[in-house]
Structure 1
Amino acid sequence: MTITSVIDPAIIQAYRETHFCVEGDAPLTLRIGEKNETLSALHKASGATSSAFVTAWNPYSRRCDDETNADLQKKLIDELTTRSLCFVNGVGRHPASDWAEPSLLVLRISLEAAKELGNRYEQNAIVWCGADAVPELVLLR
């Protein structure tokens, strides 16, 4: 199946290679397409059947300064808090570079709501984790 996207294929490949690290009581690292038993346990403990790894940093992969990114991330955190959504801090890191973006694992969020968040914060993609705890890259553009 061919996926058509306006996102640079090199950026999509970088997303697929990224380690999506979740902090908290039971730290874990999500990798696209690889089942994660620790995530499965976190889902079960929190009553979640799904989660999404999202960020507000660097909209549409345009590098922003740290102050702008911090402001965007604060808006995302404030929105999640206002909506009473449970989330855990994390960071997306590419293993072959020094690139890293603070991110959040949002628990008990539907795919539609996660895509809506990603679109609202002008992101190219989100990482969706369904009941099977297999992270999936979901392109938004």
Structure 2
Amino acid sequence: MLSGAGNSSIDPKIIQAYRETHYHVRGATPLTLNVGEPNPALAALHAAAGVDCSAFITAWNPFSQQEDDPAANAVRQQALVRELTQLGLRCIDGIGQHPTNGWDGEESFLVPGLSLDAARALGARYGQNAVVWSGADAVPQLILLR
């Protein structure tokens, strides 16, 4: 599932790469999210956490421009985790990795209980083109932000 593709200013090739990316969640029970595919393990995680939604989000490589200074990505990611922690949200480490295009994986977080509106706001604040959000159906959706 894809939100906003028809009105997006994002290059369609980048959108396609986002759709193909594997969103790996590390945590106690590792799982992989794929856009548009129901995920029973994610549904179980939602149930165990007592939430009905989650978001996979990063602060790496704003607007899909690979950062020349790797430390800059780490600084942005630390700011994101501080903000999520201040909101009282749990962060589960993850990485978004396209299976074939050679783009370096991007350190990310799965955030159980992060609403769609909050995920959109955080993604925009950290210069992201998109976030991956899942509702009660545990089907990851690509949510375009531009």
TM-score (norm 2): 0.94
Q: Which of 65, 73, 78 pairs up with 1:74?
A: 78
Q: How does 1:12-51 map to 2 (within 5 A)?
A: 12-51=15-54
Q: Distance in 2 between matches of 1:93 and 1:61?
A: 13
- Aligned-partner residue type, residue 85 of structure 1: L
Q: Provide, for residues 18-51 of structure 1, a one-character-per-residue CA deviation record: whole Å limited to 9, x for no partner.
A: 0000001110000000000000000000001000
Unmatched segments (≥5 aa) in structure 2: none
- Aligned-partner residue type, residue 76 of structure 1: L
Q: Provide, for residues 101-124 of structure 1, a one-character-per-residue CA deviation record: whole Å limited to 9, x for no partner.
A: 000001111100010000000100
Q: Distance in 2 between matches of 1:61 and 1:25?
A: 29
Unmatched segments (≥5 aa) in structure 1: none
Q: Which runs of structure 1 show a deviation greater than 4 angstroms over 4 or more consecutive aligned residues?
A: none
- Aligned-partner residue type, residue 47 of structure 2: K
State the match for 2:91 in structure 1.
87
Q: Provide, for residues 59-78 of structure 1, a one-character-per-residue CA deviation record: whole Å limited to 9, x for no partner.
A: 11111121000000000011
Query: What count of residue pairs does the alignment treat as equivalent?
Result: 141
RMSD: 1.2
- Residue 2 and residue 125 in structure 1: after superposition, are their counterparts in 2 closer, same or farther (change >3 A)? closer
- Report % sequence identity: 55
Q: Distance in 1 between matches of 2:5 and 2:27?
A: 37
- Residue 128 and residue 98 in structure 1: after superposition, are their counterparts in 2 closer, same or farther (change >3 A)? same
Q: Distance in 2 between matches of 1:75 and 1:86?
A: 14
Q: Distance in 2 between matches of 1:46 and 1:98?
A: 34
CA contact under 8 A between 2:91 and 2:112: conserved in structure 1? yes
TM-score (norm 1): 0.97
Q: Distance in 1 between matches of 2:44 and 2:5?
A: 33
Task: Report deviation, 1:97.
Answer: 2.8
Task: Report deviation, 1:2.
Answer: 6.3
Q: How does 1:1-141 map to 2 (within 5 A)?
A: 3-64=6-67, 65-99=69-103, 100-141=105-146
Q: Distance in 2 between matches of 1:62 and 1:96?
A: 18
Task: Report deviation, 1:98.
Answer: 3.2
